[in-house]
């Protein structure tokens, strides 16, 4: 009797272990360059949790923050090679794949993140998610970070204050032109190298969101930050299109659901995390935060806006017009 109970129990245990052991989860890597305590960092963690839940464990998501696995220079290539499945680069970094997405880099284009959101949700914004399919990149979602602030080791109150300084920029020709227009020197650098470049003085200044300035400690090596809100840093979550299209419909649906909910989490926390980061920088006393008067702001707009005309034909006037229209809350 004892023996037969043992045999029955063993068979039952085998029946449980058998199919589970045969079904190894698909391991999916999500690589990004920022810290966990940022909008993108939090959203990637949320996506992992939900994707594993909605696929009933058929997919296991490994999140690699802080350029741990791949930095700016290599992450797109890694997606193309299938070494990583999900990345969420800043929109500025798609420069070499399509000029259209560069619309987001035009200075003083969007009044605020709500306008960016309206543009992304509209017809043109949604079409951009598929604009790199011929390069095998498929956009699944936009994630917000926030508006950019400009910093250096001197107060930047008028555009002339930037003259002669070297600014780190993301790999975008529009951002290069923006600083050239100020008679400053742009220097393209990977995100992971910015802190050190500021610390040793390879570059004098940079532009970024409050959450990045705080979490990467840029404020410790920049004495002055101007709340300029002159541009936007947002992301597109992209996958290798061939890999994605080869997944079963069930897995795609489950991961899309996880992505939609993670996107909502991202967009709900982005404003709050940036506000908190700004407060922490202000109370650290390490860096002085400067506000622009309306007159000073007008001067920055005048100094940076010529970039629009330079890139209009590459981006497309229709796209620029649609982005401008998204500032109007009445028609959107």
Coil, helix or strand for 167?
Answer: strand
Interaction between residue 170 and ligand LMR (CB under 6 A): yes
Interaction between residue 233 and ligand LMR (CB under 6 A): yes
DSSP string covering 138-186: EEEEEEEEEE-EEEESS---SGGGGTT-EEEE-S-HHHHHHHHTTT-EE
In the bound state with ligand LMR, the residue whose beta carbon lies nearer, of 39 and 181, is: 39
In the bound state with ligand LMR, the residue whose beta carbon lies nearer, of 55 and 145, is: 145
State which of positions 126-145 bind ligand LMR (CB under 6 A): 145
Kindly state the smallest distance separating residue 215's Cβ from ligand LMR, in Å. 9
Angle, vertex CA 182, rays to CA 216 and CA 164, nearest 5 = 75
Query: According to CB under 6 A, which one of 67, 90, 102, 172 is a site residue for ligand LMR?
Result: 90
CA-based end-to-end distance of the chain: 75
Q: Nearest to residue 237, comparing CAs of 124, 121, 111, 94? A: 94
Kindly state the smallest distance separating residue 164's Cβ from ligand LMR, in Å. 22
Interaction between residue 177 and ligand LMR (CB under 6 A): no
How many other CB atoms are there within 10 angstroms of residue 13's CB atom?
10
118 is in an annotated binding site: no
In the bound state with ligand LMR, the residue whose beta carbon lies nearer, of 145 and 187, is: 145
Query: According to CB under 6 A, which one of 28, 29, 34, 229 is a site residue for ligand LMR?
Result: 34
130 is in an annotated binding site: no
DSSP string covering 41-59: HHHHHHHHHHHHHHTTTSE
Number of residues that bind ligand LMR (CB under 6 A): 9
Residue closest to ligand LMR, measured at CB: 90
Interaction between residue 31 and ligand LMR (CB under 6 A): no
Angle, vertex CA 40, rays to CA 188 and CA 146, nearest 5 = 70
Q: Nearest to residue 149, comparing CAs of 107, 209, 106, 198? A: 209
How many other CB atoms are there within 10 angstroms of residue 20's CB atom?
10
Interaction between residue 33 and ligand LMR (CB under 6 A): yes
Interaction between residue 208 and ligand LMR (CB under 6 A): yes
Interaction between residue 212 and ligand LMR (CB under 6 A): yes
Interaction between residue 172 and ligand LMR (CB under 6 A): no
- Which helix (H) or strand (E) covers residue 87, if one does? strand 86-87
Q: What gap in Å lies between CA 230 and CA 211, rounded to an integer?
A: 16
Binding interface with ligand LMR (CB under 6 A): 33-34, 90, 145, 170, 191, 208, 212, 233
Residues belonging to the binding site for succinate are 40, 93, 168, 208, 212, 235
């Amino acid at each position: 009797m004892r023996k037969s109970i043992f045999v029955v129990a063993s068979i039952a245990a085998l029946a449980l272990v058998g199919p589970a052991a045969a079904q190894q989860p698909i391991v999916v890597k999500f690589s990004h360059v920022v810290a966990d305590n940022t909008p993108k960092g939090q959203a990637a963690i949320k996506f992992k949790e939900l994707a594993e839940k909605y696929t009933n464990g058929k997919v296991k998501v490994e999140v690699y923050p802080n350029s741990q696995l791949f930095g700016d220079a290599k992450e797109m290539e890694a997606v193309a090679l299938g070494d990583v499945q999900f990345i969420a680069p800043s929109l500025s970094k798609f420069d070499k794949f399509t000029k259209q997405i560069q619309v987001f880099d035009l200075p003083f284009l969007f009044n605020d993140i709500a306008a960016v959101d309206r543009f992304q949700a509209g017809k043109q914004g949604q079409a951009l998610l598929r604009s790199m399919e011929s390069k095998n990149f498929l956009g699944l979602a936009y994630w917000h970070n926030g508006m950019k602030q400009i910093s250096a080791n001197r107060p930047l109150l008028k555009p002339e204050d930037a003259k002669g300084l070297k600014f780190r920029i993301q790999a975008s020709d529009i951002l290069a032109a923006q600083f050239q227009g100020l008679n400053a020197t742009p220097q393209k650098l990977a995100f992971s190298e910015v802190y050190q470049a500021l610390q040793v003085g390879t570059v004098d200044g940079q532009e970024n969101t409050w959450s990045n300035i705080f979490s990467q400690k840029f404020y410790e090596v920049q004495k002055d930050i101007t709340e300029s809100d002159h541009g936007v840093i947002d992301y597109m979550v992209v996958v290798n299109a061939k890999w994605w299209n080869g997944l079963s419909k069930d897995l795609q649906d489950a991961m899309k659901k996880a992505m939609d909910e993670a996107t909502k989490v991202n967009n709900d926390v982005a404003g709050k995390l940036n506000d908190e980061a700004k407060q922490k920088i202000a109370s650290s006393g390490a860096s002085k935060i400067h506000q622009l008067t309306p007159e000073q702001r007008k001067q920055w707009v005048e100094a940076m806006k010529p970039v629009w005309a330079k890139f209009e034909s590459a981006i497309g006037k229709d796209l620029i017009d649609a982005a401008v229209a998204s500032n109007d809350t009445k028609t959107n």
